[in-house]
Structure 1
Amino acid sequence: MAEPARDRTALLAEFGSEAAILRPTLNERDLHSAAALLTVQGSPGSRPSLMGWTDGRAVDLPPEVRREIGGAVRLPSTVAGTLEELSGWRRRWEVLAAFEGEADPPLWLKARCAILEQRLDTLPPQSRADVAARLRWVLEAMAAGPNPDEAARLARLRVDLDECTASGLLEVAPEPEEPLPMEPAPGAVQTGHPAEGVSQAADPSPRTGAEKRRAVLDLLQAEDADGAEPLTDREIARRVGCSPQTVGNVRKSLAPAEPSV
């Protein structure tokens, strides 16, 4: 009994009072109200349900429950935002359970978390933060124990990583390098200013990841055609403005496939 008492003491210090802890948030009120219209009271000795749903995955939610619980509070549009909300609800229930002593979350909370979990498995990543959130979610789910969705989650994570690598989303910008010294124009005085009649070229517009890979491919193919001495990955990366890893990936794609045994 000492452990729960310490938890409550720490929570009181964090929130200020028990009333502040138990006071429902606006989102809690909206979700509770949406669930109240869908709750079906069970027979004596059985628990209430949301139109027959009492627990489990989002795929088993009745369409009306999914629509109302998913729409009562706007769902996040990113993987990172979805994981943040799910973590927030789990933390909220831990806090409430420490004071109310209930072991089972309310139906509206179970349904909301089930919807969030499904979105974590299906939303396409839009940033590095989304990829990191997906990886964190998969690892947390695996740590929780065997799950029928584990194989699908791992497959989805692999697809995400492949797609993000191909699009350049995970590409790390190359480290800045010292610019090469410029050769002065004939007859020009080295004053730090361009010679008269010689214009300075404008900076090229930024390239997309696809354009960079195309430029790398052109340089590599030109080496093969001319029989020139191959450039290093770092030199090609410097010329194109990408990372040496990108050059290495393109170079590997040109290598002939090893014959299968």
Structure 2
Amino acid sequence: MTDPIDSNRLRKTLALLQQATGGEELAALAAVRRILDAGGLSLSDLVPVNSIAGTRGDDRTSSRPPSSPFAFKEDFDDFMERKEPGYRARMAAEQAEIARQNAAFRQSVIAKYGSEAAALCPTPLEQAINDACKPLIRVRAGYPDDLDGCNPFLFGGLPARVVAVLKAAVPMPTTLQKAASEVAFWEERDHEIRSIMEGCPIEQRLSLACEARRQMVMDALQYDIRAVSAADAIFRVEFLLNSGTYPTEKELQPALDDLRALAAGEENRQAMVQNHSSATSSVSARRSEVIRLLSHPATATLADRQIARQVGVSPQTVGNLRRKLATSG
């Protein structure tokens, strides 16, 4: 049985798809497909394929760019209105509420920093990272275009030199909790900048260097930092589940590795406890045997070395127990 489609998440992902370019566009389209798969649907359920291609005869579709994967947006709204009457009205109300929340957040940011200009000034962490990466930034048309040949806002790995510079500028977090705290900082900071620069070009957000740092810390949180306790393993899984997307197999693998390592560690601990218990029981049994031999008239006259060799203890142990018995007797 398939899960009900998450129409709100699908709508937001479609909005992302509309704004995305290059690799971001493909990733957003893949996210749309995952959401549809969870609900037992496909792209063809939203709109006929020939409509997406722009080959249908009516004016509404024939004028759309045939190459755009977002060509089905209006058809999706129609589809959801038929499936859930009142969908358009609900979405309009949600958008109005989002606009109200955004305006309130913008005012809170201004109040926090004292002014719009102050809110856009780099924080100490941002400044340290920007300064360290300044020699690696290439500017085009007045805007920072890439960081040592890569753009962190597009998909792809960071150059080794960028990674080394960022690690040297600010030490990387060493625990899952610290990594999550820094990720939360970057997301909040990005939200603050966007709220102040609403309607401005997309370049007005986190700097290239800070976005690269955010991605590095996110990767450390998702893949690199190992859980050292069950609480850590739970923390990683909860982070993935609360991220607002469906965790991929790659993202879930580190959590599974954590659990396997912790389970193996617990088995080793239990074995050590069992071995210690067995050793303790064995020592107690040998001590009791020494006392029995020292207490019996037929064996009490044996030398300490003879009893020690027979029981498997040291002569000193036999001597100590002989003196205790003599004192207590």
1:132–1:99 CA distance, 2 compared to 1 (3 A) = same
Q: How far apart, CA to CA, are the structure 2 residues paired with 1:57 and 1:164? A: 36
Alignment correspondent of 2:108: 10
For normalisation by structure 2, the TM-score amounts to 0.46
Alignment correspondent of 1:211: 272
Superposition CA RMSD, Å: 3.3
Paired residue type of 2:180: L
Moved more, 55-64 or 31-40: 55-64
Q: How far apart, CA to CA, are the structure 1 residues paired with 2:206 and 2:192? A: 12
Q: 2:186 aligns with which of 89, 96, 100?
A: 89
1:96–1:217 CA distance, 2 compared to 1 (3 A) = farther
* 1:165 matched to 2:263: yes
Alignment correspondent of 2:228: 126
Alignment correspondent of 1:105: 206
Paired residue type of 1:69: L
Q: How far apart, CA to CA, are the structure 2 residues paired with 1:156 and 1:45? A: 41
Paired residue type of 2:213: R
Alignment correspondent of 2:165: 68
- Work out the number of aligned pairs and report it: 175
Shift of 1:25: 2.1
Alignment correspondent of 1:30: 128
Q: How far apart, CA to CA, are the structure 2 residues paired with 1:56 and 1:213? A: 53
Task: Give the helix-richer structure, 1 or 2.
Answer: 2
- Contact 1:58 1:115 survives alignment (8 Å): no
Shift of 1:2: 4.3
Partner SS, residue 49 of structure 1: strand
1:45–1:10 CA distance, 2 compared to 1 (3 A) = closer
Alignment correspondent of 1:173: none
Q: How far apart, CA to CA, are the structure 1 residues paired with 2:142 and 2:114? A: 35
For normalisation by structure 1, the TM-score amounts to 0.56
Shift of 1:112: 0.4
Q: Which runs of 5+ in 1 are unaligned?
A: 170-206, 219-261
Paired residue type of 1:136: E
Once the two structures are superposed, residues 53-106 of structure 1 have per-residue CA deviations (whole angstroms, 9 ceiling, x without a partner) of: 112689621111111122211111112211111111111111122113354432
- Contact 1:58 1:111 survives alignment (8 Å): no
Shift of 1:28: 1.0
1:22–1:40 CA distance, 2 compared to 1 (3 A) = closer
Q: Which runs of 5+ in 2 are unaligned?
A: 1-98, 280-329
Shift of 1:160: 0.6
Q: How far apart, CA to CA, are the structure 2 residues paired with 1:2 and 1:135? A: 32
Shift of 1:128: 3.9
Larger Rg: 2
Q: How far apart, CA to CA, are the structure 2 residues paired with 1:45 and 1:92? A: 23
Shift of 1:131: 1.7
Shift of 1:130: 2.6
